[in-house]
Structure 1
Amino acid sequence: MDELRKIDLNLLLALHALLSEKHVTRAAIRLHRSQPAVSHALAQLRTHFNDPLLIRQNGHMALTARAQSLAKPLQDALASLDSLLAAPRFDPVLAQRRFRLSLSDYSSRIILPPLVRYLRQAAPGVDLAISQASREAMLAQLLDGELDLALGIFPELPQGITAQTLFEDRFVSIADRQVLPAKGGLALGDWLARPHVLMAMRPDAHDEIERALAAQGLRRRIALALPHWSAAVEVLGGTDLILTVAKRAVGPMHQHKALRQFAPPLAIPSLAYQQAWHNRKDSDPGHRWLREAVWACCQPGH
């Protein structure tokens, strides 16, 4: 390190060009510098190494023994510096890495099947560790560095967190066919009079439906609050319960022949389903690759 402090790194670049070209003018062209500037650099290098480095032999410039001994170590050193200063790269085929994701079983069913298939083909050494939490907990885990990626609905993001919309979804209501009119759905008054199922990680969650109701000064009765998407649909048959959820959470209705889907009699904004990450991950090429893979797996026709 002491020797490195004694020399300008630009002189090492000049030395590399001089050793490669064995000619001051050609070295100057290679370095995009003037010939006098490269001649001055050569003089400094000769002083530093206490060796002429380039000597004239038979009408041509040739390397001294000292210069020849410098050529390979200098090439290796500059290659190492170039690798150090270059932007990091991520090769999914060779990568051995584990990413920590948090998402609900709603998004797991939509995103994980195509994502896992893609990872097994494109990045067989990449592993996923999946957890589930409320949106507040997911954001806290991103801030604390406990998660790489959180997937959900994040209407408000804390400082330092970035989110990208993966797809949009709309709300539908579902109930047992036997407790619905022969055609259509329910009027708002009838809809509010029925007991409802709340899908949330916490029973006291104030979700998009509750906010839409509160905006009109309305409330609904929550007869059952639970965090399991699949169970929420299964409990409806043979009851007077109504479940209002994102349409893609339900899946094909032919699997639930006793139930019927209808539009809620209430204006509820569509859902923007997102992936969120901490800004510290922005420059991580592996993390960027994963985000792009998740986004691609959410696009139509994937």
Structure 2
Amino acid sequence: MSNALARLRKLTDDQLFLRTPNGMEPTPYAQQLAGPTASALQVIHAAINQKASFDPSTSKRAFTVGMTDIGEIYFLPKLMKEVARLAPNVSISTVRNTAVNLQDEMEAGHVNLAIGLLPQLKAGYFQRRLFKQQYVCMFRRGHPLDKKTVSLSEFSSADHVVVISAGTGHGNADEILGRKKVVRKVVLTVPHYVAVGHILHDSDLVATVPERLAQALAGPFELSYIRHPAKLPEIAINLFWHGRFHKDPAITWLRSLIVGLHGEGAPD
């Protein structure tokens, strides 16, 4: 205690406490500091114990999550259903990692979480594996490739739609096909996956897409998919957050909700 008081006296250039016949008494300056110091301690105490103060059932927190169009198709329906049930006043906005500098926005707290194949998020970030998935070959039901076994030659000869998903790791699939010297007859190139279901439903085009997207599109658009003939490697889809907000109770709650709904072992 004496060492701490000595440091404070040096810092404030005041004795702060004086010895009197009645014991140690605060100086006028120490009394002046008492109010602001108590307020500051209350703020610190509230920050340390803020976890207990977050109640999703009454919170009006607005979250921003970085994800691709694939993420919106696959994650949002189930997530928003649970948010409506558990946190009816909470809102969620999504943002493309190509529309903002995702690293800067997450560090500043403007984007709370990011989901996807995001190799650029490394130092300073936490991540949690949600799942691994394969790339598959997708087409309309009744397509000539809609059979148990498809050769690489048959795959190459088909008409293809290719998605150039800038800012994500999904471009690796095209790079790997190139390294394997798999030549495709590309007749359509689009910048996102959101239109793929509509395109495949009304054409004989073939697309290489992540398996979870294929699962989401197959029923509504009457599509089929098979294991990719080129045997592409699995990809990992992760949940990311910046280390500055690792213990933020609201973000911790949303992370847990997403992992519970979409993490490995989560119910379909």
- TM-score normalised according to structure 2 size: 0.72
Supply the distance in 2 between the matched residues of 1:85 and 1:5 (Cα, whole angstroms).
31
Match of 1:294 in 2: 258
Matching of residue 223 in structure 1 with residue 187 in structure 2:
yes
Contact persistence 1:152–1:275 (CA under 8 A): yes
Match of 1:282 in 2: 246
Match of 1:99 in 2: 63
Supply the distance in 1 between the matched residues of 2:184 and 2:104 (Cα, whole angstroms).
30
Deviates more, 1:200-209 or 1:90-99: 200-209
Matching of residue 48 in structure 1 with residue 24 in structure 2:
yes
Q: For residues 241-252 of structure 1, what are the structure 2 equivalents within 5 Å?
A: 241-250=205-214, 251=216
Is the alpha carbon distance of 1:199 and 1:81 closer, same or farther for their aligned partners in structure 2, counting shifts above 3 Å?
Answer: closer
Q: For residues 1-302 of structure 1, what are the structure 2 equivalents within 5 Å?
A: 6-7=16-17, 46-49=22-25, 80=42, 83-84=45-46, 86-89=48-51, 90-134=54-98, 137-139=101-103, 141-143=105-107, 145-177=109-141, 179-180=143-144, 183-202=147-166, 207-237=171-201, 239-250=203-214, 251=216, 253-257=218-222, 259-299=223-263, 300-301=266-267
Deviates more, 1:242-251 or 1:177-186: 177-186
Supply the distance in 2 between the matched residues of 1:136 and 1:187 (Cα, whole angstroms).
41
Supply the distance in 1 between the matched residues of 2:74 and 2:161 (Cα, whole angstroms).
22
Supply the distance in 2 between the matched residues of 1:236 and 1:121 (Cα, whole angstroms).
34
Supply the distance in 2 between the matched residues of 1:124 and 1:218 (Cα, whole angstroms).
49
Contact persistence 2:137–2:206 (CA under 8 A): yes
| Paired amino acid for 2:267 | G
Supply the distance in 1 between the matched residues of 2:107 and 2:47 (Cα, whole angstroms).
28
Deviates more, 1:159-168 or 1:201-210: 201-210
Supply the distance in 2 between the matched residues of 1:107 and 1:116 (Cα, whole angstroms).
13
Supply the distance in 2 between the matched residues of 1:83 and 1:274 (Cα, whole angstroms).
33
SS at match of 2:123: coil
Is the alpha carbon distance of 1:294 and 1:187 closer, same or farther for their aligned partners in structure 2, counting shifts above 3 Å?
Answer: same
Give the superposition deviation at 1:165: 1.4
Deviates more, 1:86-95 or 1:186-195: 86-95
Supply the distance in 1 between the matched residues of 2:42 and 2:25 (Cα, whole angstroms).
22
Deviations 1:209-237 (A, max 9, x none): 11322342444343322244342122124
Give the superposition deviation at 1:245: 0.8
Give the superposition deviation at 1:255: 3.8
Supply the distance in 1 between the matched residues of 2:230 and 2:133 (Cα, whole angstroms).
16
Structure 1 segments of 4+ aligned residues over 6 angstroms from their partners: 203-206
Give the superposition deviation at 1:175: 2.3
Q: Unaligned regions of 5+ residues in structure 1, if any?
A: 9-42, 51-72
Q: Unaligned regions of 5+ residues in structure 2, if any?
A: 1-7, 27-34
The structure that has the greater radius of gyration is: 1
Give the superposition deviation at 1:243: 0.7
- TM-score normalised according to structure 1 size: 0.65
Contact persistence 2:165–2:171 (CA under 8 A): no
RMSD (Å) for aligned C-alpha atoms: 3.8
Is the alpha carbon distance of 1:260 and 1:45 closer, same or farther for their aligned partners in structure 2, counting shifts above 3 Å?
Answer: farther
Percent identity of paired positions between Structure 1 and Structure 2 = 22
Supply the distance in 2 between the matched residues of 1:174 and 1:47 (Cα, whole angstroms).
84
Deviations 1:7-59 (A, max 9, x none): 59xxxxxxxxxxxxxxxxxxxxxxxxxxxxxxxxxx98941249xxxxxxxxx
